[in-house]
Structure 1
Amino acid sequence: MIQDHLLTLMPPSIELNTGEDPLDATRNILLDDEWAREVGRQDRMPTVRVWRHAPVRGLVVSKRDVAGPKGEAAMATMDRLGWPILVRPTGGTAVPHGPGVLNFSLLFPRTKDKVTTDAYYQLLCQPMLDWFTSMGLVATTGAVPGSYCDGNYNVLVDGKKVVGTAQAWRGGLAGTKSRHPGYVLAHACIVVDVDMMEATDVINRFYEEVGDPYRVDASTSTSLADALNKVQPGQTYSAATAQKDFVTFLERYYRSAGIAVHVRS
């Protein structure tokens, strides 16, 4: 469960939203920033979003990864290879996306509380840890050298990465009186059913194209479907099923913590 010191960061009322564009992958990514700006202006309730990419596979990268002529050339090459590049507003390195990936975003207003990025990462990761545990999986957070988009707040199952996380803070304190009302966008990319050997090869090819020595190792990661299959042999698990399961879990989870939850799609 969410620890008491983190509960103070949770708004008393949230929107739990599964809204997504079924055709436009770029639009799906940009919705996080668009809705978060509305949250900062108080035009939208603080939002927890559980969403899937449009059914096209590719890589999501930061703006830094594709800066300059080499980045533009690499994007064209990856597009020809059938792995188009999409750019996200948060930092970090490349992550796979597509129909086998589920995304989890916290879109919250900036507050006066003295708070660290670590606290928001914990607020993001704890529900996933508890969800995985409820499935009979052994889940933790931590860095895994050699994994894609590595960081201290990867979510791991049996020591292998299943979830990558990223975070962005924008503007100042939220509210209608602020000239640039701010928000916190904390995001998780849950690999539900992806061939990580292939995805790793593609990530490495991308960084080769941009002239970056960064490389990842496929043995450091797994998918949620593969992890579940070890505890429930013969189990199949799709991102669509995971989305339904996780939304049901989150609705109970947040309400049990005393938070009002409004489910929308």
Structure 2
Amino acid sequence: MKDTTDLLVQERWRVIDQSVSGLYISALQSFGMDDTLCASVGSGEAPATARAWVHQRTIVLGIQDTKLPYLINGNDFLQDQGYEVIVRNSGGLAVVLDEGVLNLTLVFPEKEKGIDINRGYDAMWQLVQEMFADYGQDIEAREIIGSYCPGSYDLSINGQKFAGISQRRIRKGVAVQIYLCVNGSGSKRAELIKQFYELSKKGEETRHVYPAIVPEVMASLSELLQVELTVQDVMLRFLQALQSKSEQLFTASLSPEEVPLFEGYYDRVVERNQKVLGE
């Protein structure tokens, strides 16, 4: 892993904490929020911003998932299980959100040299390693075959995945996003997505490749570390790790200038979902 300390070290880190309030809003708002922060941080109108968010039972599909031949069957199944189904405005594949999954976003300004894509991923990986350093476990970043939304920056302990990282770039702003399965059963979440793909594909040949999910390769941090962790436990670790990287760590909400920007980006996310899912 390259040295990414300079990326994590910011003079000021603004923190927007929606780890509790997010439970009462749709996850669609989170994707509008991250696009807003990309634009405002990228333009220099806002400082580097970290956001934490948790939503109730939601399945977030990637654009590629919307090409599944029997998507309606898979969606009906997920909704029958009590999940809202939405489509994010970026790549990747289906992931599970619920009250035991903490999502973190780091938004950096892309200055003169730019931020290499792996450098953004490495920064988040490094932060997570520091958050859980006291457990003495080796947190690897490599693709875990059989997991949902597999990628080269899956985070795992002893071959079991507990987190996935993605990126979003808008107007010289870089948002690095991670979902951390804090507690609950990682394999049960994976089983849900496995059934979704089976119902949405029905064994047909497809243009896109979808993962053959093996639920046992996924777990939560509580399962892997053999300790009962809560989302707020992990939030404290997150804030402490970020505090060590900054001269000033402060909590805030969107600025008055960012509010109309958010309304525009959120409307786009909603429109895209209505177009793709017909809702």
- TM-score when normalising by structure 2: 0.77
Give 2:240's aligned residue: 248
Give 1:262's aligned residue: 250
Cα distance, 1:139 vs structure 2: 1.5
In 2: Cα distance, 1:240 partner to 1:114 partner: 33
Give 1:153's aligned residue: 153
In 2: Cα distance, 1:99 partner to 1:8 partner: 30
In 1: Cα distance, 2:42 partner to 2:109 partner: 5
Cα distance, 1:9 vs structure 2: 7.2
Which segment is superposed worse, 201-210 or 19-28? Answer: 19-28
Deviations 1:1-36 (A, max 9, x none): x96555157543221231343311322343222222
1:111 and 2:101 correspond: no
| Equivalence map 1:9-158=2 (5 Å) | 11-19=10-18, 20-26=21-27, 27-53=29-55, 56-67=56-67, 70-72=70-72, 74-158=74-158
Deviations 1:11-66 (A, max 9, x none): 4322123134331132234322222222223332221112222xx22322212312
In 2: Cα distance, 1:132 partner to 1:262 partner: 22
SS of 2:23's equivalent in the other structure is: coil
SS of 1:197's equivalent in the other structure is: helix
In 1: Cα distance, 2:114 partner to 2:174 partner: 13
Query: In 1, are the aligned partners of 2:183 and 2:222 still within 8 Å (CA)?
Result: yes
Cα distance, 1:132 vs structure 2: 1.8
Q: Cα gap change, 1:22/1:4 in structure 2, threshold over 3 Å: closer, same or farther?
A: same
In 1: Cα distance, 2:197 partner to 2:121 partner: 26
SS of 2:24's equivalent in the other structure is: coil
Query: In 1, are the aligned partners of 2:100 and 2:231 still within 8 Å (CA)?
Result: yes
Give 1:187's aligned residue: 177
Deviations 1:194-249 (A, max 9, x none): 322221121012222332653211121211111221xxxxx321213222332223
Deviations 1:90-113 (A, max 9, x none): 321111110000111111223221
In 1: Cα distance, 2:228 partner to 2:35 partner: 32
Query: In 2, are the aligned partners of 1:131 and 1:249 still within 8 Å (CA)?
Result: yes
The one of 204, 208, 211 aligned to 1:214: 211
In 2: Cα distance, 1:39 partner to 1:114 partner: 14
Which segment is superposed worse, 114-123 or 98-107? Answer: 114-123
Query: In 2, are the aligned partners of 1:137 and 1:157 still within 8 Å (CA)?
Result: yes
Which segment is superposed worse, 63-72 or 108-117? Answer: 63-72
SS of 2:47's equivalent in the other structure is: coil
In 2: Cα distance, 1:77 partner to 1:30 partner: 26
Q: What is the root-mean-square deviation of aligned Cα atoms in Å?
A: 2.5
* Runs of 5+ unmatched residues, structure 1: 171-180, 230-234
Deviations 1:107-160 (A, max 9, x none): 122322144211110011101012122233322211211122111111112232
1:237 and 2:229 correspond: yes
In 2: Cα distance, 1:25 partner to 1:17 partner: 16
Query: In 2, are the aligned partners of 1:30 and 1:88 still within 8 Å (CA)?
Result: no
In 2: Cα distance, 1:61 partner to 1:104 partner: 18
Give 1:173's aligned residue: none
In 2: Cα distance, 1:66 partner to 1:157 partner: 31
Query: In 2, are the aligned partners of 1:15 and 1:263 still within 8 Å (CA)?
Result: yes
In 2: Cα distance, 1:40 partner to 1:155 partner: 27
In 2: Cα distance, 1:197 partner to 1:152 partner: 20
Query: In 1, are the aligned partners of 2:190 and 2:218 still within 8 Å (CA)?
Result: no
- TM-score when normalising by structure 1: 0.81
